[in-house]
Structure 1
Amino acid sequence: MPTLPPLDGIRVVDLSRVLAGPYCTALLADAGADVVKIEPTAGEDSRHLGPFRDGESIYFNVLNRGKRSLALNLKDDADRKVLFDLLDTADVLVENFRPGVTARLGIDYDTVHARNPRLVYASISGFGQDGPLAGSAAYDLVVQALSGIMSITGSPESGPTRLGESFGDLVAGLFAAWGISSALVGTRESGVGQHLDVAMFDSMLAMLPTAHSQLQASGVAPAGVGNRHPVSTPFDTYRASDGLFVLAVASQSGFEKLAHTMDRADLLGDNRFADDTSRTDHEPALRAEIEIWAKDKTVAEVVAVLGAAGLASSEIWNVEQALSSEQSRHRGLVESFDHPVAGTIDYVRQPVVFGDSARPGVRRSPLLDEHRQPLLSEIASR
């Protein structure tokens, strides 16, 4: 019989806005937490960010699925009292104000911790709560630029290139959700919560183990190499008769299998391709051999032949193809809810399968201040 969702019974007060914080709390809601989103009386910033349908931000509604909304003016004493009363019932607080703002509002960690010592308080910011850049404005583009990820993305021709999604925000939100879950385990044992300091910059640096390894080994900062892997070859996009395919070979046995699949056993005796390092040094020559083999085959034919040989290869899907694929459908990745204004909204649920835990029922995003009365009643009856 399925057990309860892993975060069932955990209440999260969400003071965050736009992306990093809301993404974190959406993951927690997907895992069963009761997330109460505190919004300004005019609504959270991303309610006003496109794309829109019937005046409703699809972006906001995807990121705030499964939450309840309460609108408060945090500069107003009465509204701030409502917030503190709510925090007395909470297990987690998430905020992504610039460092110093919560202190000015009187809702900083020390103040909140004094009232509710069990509370896990997560602060998400661009550069952390201290350090020379702590007070700097941080958008994803800035963090990608400073973290080094842009310097290794793109090609020598294109120069540094931003990743095609706001990964600085998303990775910070992901680490925050991991940190909160870990801290809740500690709180269960100790009875005392703690302050989590999650920085976008730190989070992006933590995602660069290959580049960091290259730097340590050579003493030279790695640069962008396009779609190919910086260490292993062949590991890139290649051209067939009707488009591009990807091929990933990361072992000597894999290369031997590729050579036989191409009916080019002679490549195994070529010193240029003797090992992974040599193949990477002579990447253009090996690329030419692969593309000569593939030039009279379609992408589908190439992928079928390589797949039958047990090699990792695929066509390149766009976002629509990935979301609608049989793999996504089988895994149940895309869920949907009916919004009273915007209609049906699809979203990708958090992707971890928790064994026998029941998956929380699909809960839609909230209208602004929609849950004021039930939340005030819950506070009053505690």
Structure 2
Amino acid sequence: MPEPETAAAPLKGMKVVDLSKILAGPYVTMSLADLGADVIKVEHPDGGDPTRSWGPPFNGPDATYYLAANRSKRSVTLDLKSAGGQEAVHRMLADADVLVENFRPGSTLARLFDHKELSERYPRLVVLHISAFGDTGPLRDEPGYDMVAQASAGLMSLTGEPDGPPVKAGYAMGDLGAALFGLVGVNAALVERERTGRGQSVTTSLYESQLALHINWATGYFATGERPARLGSGHPSLVPYQAYSAADGHFVIAVGNDALFRRLVGALGHPEWADDPRFATNRDRVAHRTALNAKLESVLVDEPVAHWTGLLKPLGVPVAAIRTLDEVYDCPQTAALGMVQKVDHPVVGPLRQVAFPVTFRGERPPVRSAPPILGQQSRAVLAELGYGEAETDRLLTAAPEDPHPQGA
């Protein structure tokens, strides 16, 4: 009997060729692998994906940065600027469903593997091209890293305390935003292919994705023409909705309506604040943010975080302690969701990974294999493509690396 399909592997049977590196592209392909696809990661023989050396910290031969975005793939080393390496990739593409690349526009590899030409050559192939600034415009050919995207697309201008310097977001939101929109684009193109029989070229960029994630910041600017100011942990349209200092740390209060505000100030022993015309409605509270926060801070600083969360949660006021990562991964909620899985790495042994955050009929996709060591499956994959031992030996050689990848 054929092996039954599992709900947690919706892309089982799909073949993905991954020519990308750093974070945006590899995160897309790791997600496709999580969903069941066979992902072949093509890396340069001399060092492979640059994130392998982006440490410390390291865990085994590779940096933990690389280990974060490359599980459940097979690594093959090829020099893509050589005729032999190019031929091998085209053999892979002959029956592939998806190709992902993030070559810098105008680079040699972008010309050799032009996403539009590949889409024409392989009609059923879905080609995802991720760039820094998009395929048109005056910044088209510039290389980009996550911080460049956060700066140039406005995120850093919105992040940080009002009287402090701009701050980079803690996550690589430029890369990860492009990755998530790229993943949406790939899966949408695969759905359309089921209807039409044809694949297509799909593009996104770090810059475009950041603009899409501005959401209410953008519409607020369009309505007022005013440049938004940094608010620290505050919200531009809701007050109180930010982090506050307690006697022993910090926690957040997220009041989304006037009824919740009345509960909050009643619990704090100041029900009269809800009748103060400066604070009676959310519109009033936003206009008098500084005055209200001064009152709240004068009370909240007197007791520990546990006191305030214990007092406010039973009343339905949204509150939460600000956890550190050790606290997050020791949290019973994290364990209950099964979000951390272990997989065996050939060098370091059991390796913990944060799993795919979507379930299918209640089943979470399993982490199928550890991030591969550089070239770990080269010979096996090349044999699948019809190469003999001598040809394989010839292909597995090193050459100078491109210093300008897209995304970081």
CA distance in structure 2 between the aligned counterparts of 1:21 and 1:218, rounded to whole angstroms: 36
SS at match of 2:278: helix
Contact 1:102 1:108 (8 Å CA) reproduced = no
- Aligned partner of 2:373 in structure 1 is 367
Equivalenced residues, count: 381
CA distance in structure 2 between the aligned counterparts of 1:126 and 1:210, rounded to whole angstroms: 23
Contact 2:7 2:360 (8 Å CA) reproduced = no
Q: CA deviation at 1:104?
A: 5.8
CA distance in structure 2 between the aligned counterparts of 1:149 and 1:357, rounded to whole angstroms: 35
SS at match of 1:337: strand
Aligned with 2:283 (options 277, 281, 287): 277
CA distance in structure 2 between the aligned counterparts of 1:111 and 1:284, rounded to whole angstroms: 56
CA distance in structure 1 between the aligned counterparts of 2:94 and 2:144, rounded to whole angstroms: 31
For 1:56, the aligned partner's letter is D
Residue 64 of structure 1 pairs with residue 70 of structure 2: yes
CA distance in structure 2 between the aligned counterparts of 1:269 and 1:104, rounded to whole angstroms: 63
Deviations 1:274-299 (A, max 9, x none): 21121122223222332333333211
CA distance in structure 1 between the aligned counterparts of 2:110 and 2:245, rounded to whole angstroms: 57
Q: Name the stretch that deviates more: 55-64 or 30-39.
A: 55-64
CA distance in structure 1 between the aligned counterparts of 2:308 and 2:116, rounded to whole angstroms: 61
CA distance in structure 2 between the aligned counterparts of 1:8 and 1:55, rounded to whole angstroms: 30
CA distance in structure 2 between the aligned counterparts of 1:231 and 1:239, rounded to whole angstroms: 21
For 2:77, the aligned partner's letter is A
Contact 2:253 2:319 (8 Å CA) reproduced = yes
Residue 30 of structure 1 pairs with residue 59 of structure 2: no
Deviations 1:212-258 (A, max 9, x none): 12212221011101111111111111122222211010111111221
CA distance in structure 2 between the aligned counterparts of 1:121 and 1:185, rounded to whole angstroms: 14
- Aligned partner of 1:289 in structure 2 is 295
Deviations 1:128-182 (A, max 9, x none): 1221101012111111111111111112211321111211011111111111011
Given the two structures, how large is their TM-score scaled by the length of structure 2?
A: 0.89
Q: CA deviation at 1:361?
A: 4.9
- Aligned partner of 1:194 in structure 2 is 200
**Unaligned stretches of 5+ in structure 2?**
388-408
Q: CA deviation at 1:102?
A: 6.0
Aligned with 1:126 (options 122, 132, 135): 132
Contact 2:71 2:367 (8 Å CA) reproduced = no
CA distance in structure 2 between the aligned counterparts of 1:194 and 1:310, rounded to whole angstroms: 48
Question: Which structure 1 residue ranges, 4+ long, deviate > 6 Å from structure 2?
Answer: none
Q: CA deviation at 1:54?
A: 3.7
Q: CA deviation at 1:334?
A: 1.4
Residue 225 of structure 1 pairs with residue 231 of structure 2: yes
Q: Name the stretch that deviates more: 210-219 or 22-31.
A: 210-219
Given the two structures, how large is their TM-score scaled by the length of structure 1?
A: 0.94
Q: Name the stretch that deviates more: 261-270 or 147-156.
A: 261-270
CA distance in structure 2 between the aligned counterparts of 1:213 and 1:179, rounded to whole angstroms: 24
Deviations 1:198-224 (A, max 9, x none): 110000111111211221222101110
Q: CA deviation at 1:65?
A: 0.4
Q: Map of 1:197-208 to 2, 5 A cutoff?
A: 197-208=203-214
- Aligned partner of 1:44 in structure 2 is 49
Aligned CA-pair RMSD: 1.9
- Aligned partner of 2:101 in structure 1 is 95
CA distance in structure 2 between the aligned counterparts of 1:13 and 1:151, rounded to whole angstroms: 36
Contact 2:247 2:305 (8 Å CA) reproduced = yes
CA distance in structure 2 between the aligned counterparts of 1:266 and 1:356, rounded to whole angstroms: 47
Aligned with 2:118 (options 108, 112, 122): 112
Q: CA deviation at 1:358?
A: 6.4
SS at match of 1:63: coil
Contact 1:241 1:296 (8 Å CA) reproduced = yes
Q: Map of 1:171-182 to 2, 5 A cutoff?
A: 171-182=177-188
Identity of aligned residues (%): 38
- Aligned partner of 2:252 in structure 1 is 246
Residue 147 of structure 1 pairs with residue 158 of structure 2: no
CA distance in structure 2 between the aligned counterparts of 1:333 and 1:4, rounded to whole angstroms: 14
CA distance in structure 1 between the aligned counterparts of 2:349 and 2:64, rounded to whole angstroms: 10
The 1:361/1:268 distance shift into structure 2, 3 A limit, reads closer
